[in-house]
Structure 1
Amino acid sequence: MDGTLIDTEPYWMAAETELVEAHGGVWTHQDGLALVGNPMMVSASVLRDRGVDLPLEEIVDFLNRQVAAAVAAELPWQAGGQQVLADLRDAGVPMALVTSSFRILAEPFAEAAGLFDVVVTGDGVTRAKPDPEPYQLAAQLLGVDIEDCVAIEDSGAGITSALASGARAVAIEVMQPVAARPGLSRIAALSDLTLPTFARIVRGEVLDLRRAG
């Protein structure tokens, strides 16, 4: 969700900066990049180590409430996000939203989008990304084999989770560089994900559709 379908990473970074500075610390853009895709409790632990003198649960609650309020004010779709989901829905492809964000943020987005059959959140699993559990649970809830699934990710933790789950993994570079990995397809934009492209990936092709230069 975050970064891949909607451009929420600036919201997360703003909330992190506000919280750290309120406790007398300094939080940089690079600090924020290091948290992209992390489980919420991991991010909260990092913030507490940087001087945020609050219980982990309160840190997580503050971040989620701040970002949820920002998303409620304006849903920041990534370019091509709505179209690729609509194309899949029109083709009858079941879809799951698999995110490290908590239900307080993910469910309102999923309801607004109106396109997902299943929502798996960071507080709905025992082991969050980079563990494969979130994607494996999503496939189970959809009633499909994980090997028949295509997982689209933008963060290192998410990519690791997707690859380890057995799904066909696709990475789009948004906030973090995406290195080549065995079995990982890479795209430059969500508009690269046409139905014929999905079919090729499901058949086992590993594609690199990034723009030259």
Structure 2
Amino acid sequence: MSSSAFPVPPPAIDVRAAGVQAVLWDMDGTLLDTEPYWMGAETALVREFGGQWTDEDAYALVGNALPDSARILQTAGVRLSIREIIDRLSADVCAGVSREVMWRPGAIELLHELRAASIPCALVTMSEGPLAALVTSLLPDGLFRFHVTGDLVSRGKPDPEPYLMALESMGALVRDLDPRRVVAIEDSVPGILSASASGATTVAVPHMSPIEPSGDWVLVDSLAGFRLADLDRLVADRISGAFPPAAVVSGAGA
């Protein structure tokens, strides 16, 4: 099954001798803050069926594949099918994004720098195609070459399938792609588990949920001030065996 939502041009020569070849972006909570919309939609849906939904319940779903979240909502009393739950939640979030977009600090600036350096980016999100298309329509053309969405995979995050699919598609775009030179940026535990298991160099930028340090990813306090040079340094550390740094990393401009 193809993961490409946009036409992928013929393979191009990677002119960079070192550093980042591509960047894979999570969407919800990493590129923009949709979590309040998801949490509000979950709460309203559970209450519609007479149940209770706490902030702790909502935080537990951050980063999950939508079918998994829908099953949890069913156990909370929502008497709808998994498909119906996903459609209801997604429609509410799309409506929220249409009203107001809350971009995460530093994300748009980093995207523009990557495009200026001809480094391809892709979205890897557990949201489905319509929401991903809405978000990308609000950005300048060319920032994302393709996206992998929850409705394109059989196993969502934390399974590595979404990122493995993205790496396969990116391999059609970048010649001699090395997963270690592909940076995945995530904000949730399911996301970083998925990304790191794929072999990509994984950067965790916690938002709604805490993320513990690990030898499988690097913690970044914010993308504000984070630059391509920082990503290149992390890739160099990964290849040399010095990844991840012992401490939380801040961007050079932070």
Using the size of structure 2 for normalisation, the TM-score is 0.80
Task: Assess if the C-alpha contact under 8 Å between 2:106 and 2:226 holds in 1.
Answer: no
Could you tell me which amino acid in structure 1 is paired with residue 49 of structure 2?
H
Could you tell me which amino acid in structure 1 is paired with residue 89 of structure 2?
L
Q: 2:151 aligns with which of 123, 134, 150?
A: 123
The residue that corresponds to 1:69 in the other structure is 95
Indicate the larger mover: 46-55 or 135-144.
135-144
Could you tell me which amino acid in structure 1 is paired with residue 86 of structure 2?
V
CA shift digits 1:105-161 (9 cap, x unpaired): 111112322310010001111211111111111121122332221001011100000
Partner Cα distance (2:107, 2:227) in 1: 12
CA shift digits 1:36-72 (9 cap, x unpaired): 0000000000001000011111000000000011101
1:209 and 2:249 aligned: yes
- Aligned ranges 1:87-98 → 2 under 5 Å: 87-98=113-124
Identity %: 45
The residue that corresponds to 2:136 in the other structure is 110
Task: Assess if the C-alpha contact under 8 Å between 1:170 and 1:184 holds in 2.
Answer: yes
Partner Cα distance (1:191, 1:164) in 2: 26
Corresponding pairs, count: 211
Could you tell me which amino acid in structure 2 is paired with residue 176 of structure 1?
S
Task: Compare CA radii of gyration and give the structure with the larger one.
Answer: 2
1:175 and 2:186 aligned: no
Partner Cα distance (1:141, 1:116) in 2: 13
Partner Cα distance (1:38, 1:127) in 2: 11
CA shift digits 1:148-192 (9 cap, x unpaired): 210010111000001100000000110011101113111111124
1:150 and 2:183 aligned: yes
Partner Cα distance (1:24, 1:53) in 2: 10
What residue ranges of structure 2 are gaps of 5+ in the alignment?
A: 1-26, 172-176
Deviation at 1:81, TM superposition (A): 1.3
Partner Cα distance (2:244, 2:192) in 1: 14
Task: Assess if the C-alpha contact under 8 Å between 2:226 and 2:250 holds in 1.
Answer: no
Partner Cα distance (2:187, 2:30) in 1: 6
Deviation at 1:210, TM superposition (A): 5.5
The residue that corresponds to 1:8 in the other structure is 34
User: Equivalent residue of 1:191, what SS?
Assistant: coil
1:133 and 2:161 aligned: yes
Cα distance change on mapping 1:183 and 1:73 into 2, 3 Å: same
Task: Assess if the C-alpha contact under 8 Å between 1:97 and 1:118 holds in 2.
Answer: yes
Cα distance change on mapping 1:87 and 1:210 into 2, 3 Å: closer
Could you tell me which amino acid in structure 2 is paired with residue 112 of structure 1?
L
Deviation at 1:16, TM superposition (A): 0.2
Partner Cα distance (2:195, 2:101) in 1: 25
Deviation at 1:193, TM superposition (A): 2.5
What residue ranges of structure 1 are gaps of 5+ in the alignment?
A: none
Partner Cα distance (1:136, 1:111) in 2: 25
**For the aligned residues, what is the CA RMSD?**
1.3
Task: Assess if the C-alpha contact under 8 Å between 1:192 and 1:209 holds in 2.
Answer: no
Using the size of structure 1 for normalisation, the TM-score is 0.95
Superposed structure 1 runs of 4+ greater than 4 Å apart: none
Greater RCO (Cα-Cα under 8 Å, separation 6 or more): 2
Partner Cα distance (2:150, 2:178) in 1: 21
